[in-house]
Amino acid sequence: MTKKYTEDHEWISVDGDSATVGITDYAQEQLGEVVFIELPDIDKAVDKGEESAVIESVKAAGELKSPASGTVTEVNEALNDEPGKVNEDPAGEGWFFKMKLNDASELDGLMDESAYNDYVESLG
């Protein structure tokens, strides 16, 4: 299983041609208390860099952009009732959706954990 990160603070965990997508701990800290999540529909085609979920917090509204292109196969229904899971466990129970990847090579330009941590540190 491989985990990659975007400069927009999304993560994608890949296992073969399946992937799970969420936001990083840094992203949830910037957003503050998450109060609502609008998840994509199952079977929706998403494109890399396209808005695929909406995140509303007490501070701001934001979006999750898909780190890769593919088709949504599952959504984290628990977030409908408990959007705060994103704050409590963004890299675990706070995942947003799972997808079948169109082209795994799209992930080649994303950062590994070490590079992402360096990137976050550079933001001050």
- In order of their start, the domains of the chain are 2-105+112-122 (2.40.50.100)
Q: What is the rounded average pLDDT of the residues 83-97?
A: 97
**33 pLDDT more than 90:** yes
Predicted pLDDT at 44 = 98
3-state DSSP helix/strand/coil % of the chain, to nearest 5? 25, 40, 35
**85 pLDDT more than 90:** yes
* Residue 107: how many other CB atoms lie within 10 Å: 17
Q: Retrieve residue 116's tokens.
A: 């992402």
3-state SS class at 93: coil
Of 67, 65, 64, 5, nearest in space to 34 by CA: 64
What's this model's pTM, rounded to 2 decimal places?
0.96
Q: How confident is the model at residue 95 (pLDDT cuts 50, 70, 90)?
A: very high
Q: What is the rounded average pLDDT of the residues 67-82?
A: 98
